Amino acid sequence: MLNKLNPWKKDPSPSDFQERLLKIKEHQVPAHIAIIMDGNGRWASKRALPRVAGHHEGMKVVRKITKLANELGIKTLTVYAFSTENWKRPKLEVDFLMKLPEEFLGTFLPELVEENVRVEMIGYMDKLPEHTRKAVEKAMDDTKDNTGLVLNFALNYGSRAEILDGVKRVIEDVRTGKISEDDLTEDAFSSYLMTREMNDPDLLIRTSGEIRLSNFMLWQLAYTEFWFTDVLWPDFNEEHLIEAIEAFQGRQRRFGGV
Ligand code: FPP
């Protein structure tokens, strides 16, 4: 059967999961995976549940995928948990989404600490409700010395705003002589973005069949490999992550060269 969104790639036969895992580890795994976790609302609607039930189920998937990504030696996992545009959603849904980081970290932080995972965040933290901000800050602080996977939450994140803010700070730094126009290389500009501490994603995954970027890491995704799936985020599992990494390992990255 042909995969609808990746027609060049046949759906994998259901071979043994462990075998595929070992095979993946023999090759280079993507150092940074970014995920647009889409389809929570549709997952819930299909089950006649409120949309927030989909978000709650989606939260548990983040835990599963973090664990496997860490085991695979992936360095950074960025998950798009809330965009600067998501404030337009009904208040009940926004309030629920703002409570999820607390619930996630309240439940799983001890395990993340145990597994040497470091929690990070990109996004406009100062505009988050205090309870959300405090939960994320505590997790970042409790895990700051960990050296395993970086679990990076994009929370109240918007890429255009991020780039525009970067440009404004560059203008200020040129004005005050901190940087000259000639020194403003792509690398130098990257250091004005929220992702300044991390490499660009190697692999972007978007679930639920939507094929767009939704204002996510527009600068950082310039040379990233994209992988789309019809699977709704709450249904996404370890096997899907393996499938995405297998697809990535089959790609030839040329970064504009030949
Ligand atoms: C998009 O699906 C999803 C979101 C806007 C929220 C993503 C949040 C999670 C998966 C929870 C994880 C959070 C933490 C803190 C671990 P949608 O609601 O737009 O789905 P739809 O397109 O089917 O309506």
Burial of 140 by CB count in 10 Å (0-12 exposed, 13-18 middle, 19+ buried)? middle
**Ligand 1 pocket, residue 133 CB under 6 Å:** no
All structural domains of the chain: 28-158+201-249 (3.40.1180.10)
In ligand 1, which atom is closest to the CA atom of 43? Answer: 23
Question: Does 8 show up as a binding residue in the annotation?
Answer: no
Q: Read off the pLDDT of each residue in 28-55 and give the average, rounded to a whole number.
A: 98
Q: What is the pTM of this model?
A: 0.93
Q: What is the pLDDT of residue 169?
A: 98
Was 160 annotated as part of a binding site? no
Q: Is 205 in the pocket of ligand 1 (CB under 6 A)?
A: no
Please give the distance, rounded to the nearest whole angstrom, from the Cα atom of residue 121 to the centre of ligand 1: 16
- For ligand 1, atom 11, the nearest C-alpha belongs to 59
148 annotated as belonging to a binding site for a ligand? no
Ligand 1 centre distance from Cα of residue 109 (Å): 20
Q: Is the CB of 62 under 6 A from ligand 1?
A: yes
Nearest to 98 by CA among 120, 118, 124: 124
Asked if residue 182 has pLDDT above 80, the reply is yes
pLDDT digits (tens, 9 = 90+) for 60-101: 999 999 999 999 999 999 999 999 999 999 999 999 999 999
Torsion 36-41-45-49 (CA) sign: positive
Q: What is the pLDDT of residue 16?
A: 85
Q: What amino acid positions are annotated as catalytic residues?
A: 38, 86
| Distance from Cα 56 to the centre of ligand 1, integer Å | 9
User: Beta 150-157 vs 118-122: how paired, if at all?
Assistant: parallel
Tally of residues, the chain:
258
- Between 14 and 230, the higher pLDDT residue: 230
